[in-house]
Amino acid sequence: MVAGFQLSELKLTGYFPGVVGKITEFHAIYYYENWGFDVSFETQVGRELSEFLMGFQENRDGFWVATIAGGFAGAIAIDGNQAGNEGARVRWFIVTPGFQGRGIGKTLLRRSIEFCKEVGYKRIYLWTFKGLEPARYLYELEGFSLCKEHKVRQWGQDIVEQMFELSL
């Protein structure tokens, strides 16, 4: 973590070598330590993120990595593969623990929404689970609303999966 950084020092970039591993690592550690998610979560993140980047289309998909002083601070993606039918999907949204609560998540989420507007998407959605209150606060601040909720057993845990959506 870079102590005392200014949000103006935040840089949003795209893909760079090693970022798939960083995003997967931070998801795996964070969700294991805080929610007890098992190896199936880590492997799902790594596999699906890799597949997304291999099929990435610049005018359909978005991918932003937040860095501070060259260090990884967070990431977000917009998967537009099913945008015509289901809407564009927010995926792999994470801010590293040392940078949480400092405006990086809001910046990433807003950039992804701007991209969706630029491309002309009419609906954005994301899947999350009950208990991630700081993230839910960000989603609702930007106009997302809870539209579905159901109990599932996945990643070694019983969770309440939630879908949020935003009409543009």
* Mean model confidence pLDDT for the chain: 92
Statement: the pTM of the whole predicted model exceeds 0.75: yes
pLDDT band at 96 (very low <50, low <70, confident <90, very high): very high
User: Buried (b) or exposed (e) across 76-99, using 16+ Cβ within 10 A?
Assistant: bbbbbbebeeebbbbbbbbbbeeb
pLDDT at residue 1 in the model:
44
Examine residue 61 and state whether it is found in any structural domain, yes or no: yes
Examine residue 156 and state whether it is found in any structural domain, yes or no: no
Residue 15 has pLDDT above 70, yes or no: yes
Examine residue 88 and state whether it is found in any structural domain, yes or no: yes
Examine residue 134 and state whether it is found in any structural domain, yes or no: no
CA distance 33 to 49: 21
Examine residue 22 and state whether it is found in any structural domain, yes or no: yes
Examine residue 167 and state whether it is found in any structural domain, yes or no: no
Q: Which contacts qualify for 52-60: CB closer than 8 Å, 24 or more apart?
A: 52/77, 52/79, 52/91, 53/15, 53/20, 55/81, 56/15, 59/119, 60/119
Domain that holds residue 113: 8-124
Examine residue 157 and state whether it is found in any structural domain, yes or no: no
Q: For the chain, how many structural domains are there in total? A: 1
Q: Which two tokens stand for residue 103?
A: 């405006």
CA distance 130 to 152: 11
Q: The CATH number of the domain where 107 resides is what? A: 3.40.630.30
* Continuous segment of H or E residues that includes residue 124: strand 123-129
Residue 2 has pLDDT above 60, yes or no: no
Q: Reduced to 3 DSSP states, what percent helix, strand and coil does the chain have, rounded to the nearest 5?
A: 40, 35, 30
Examine residue 34 and state whether it is found in any structural domain, yes or no: yes
pLDDT at residue 23 in the model:
97
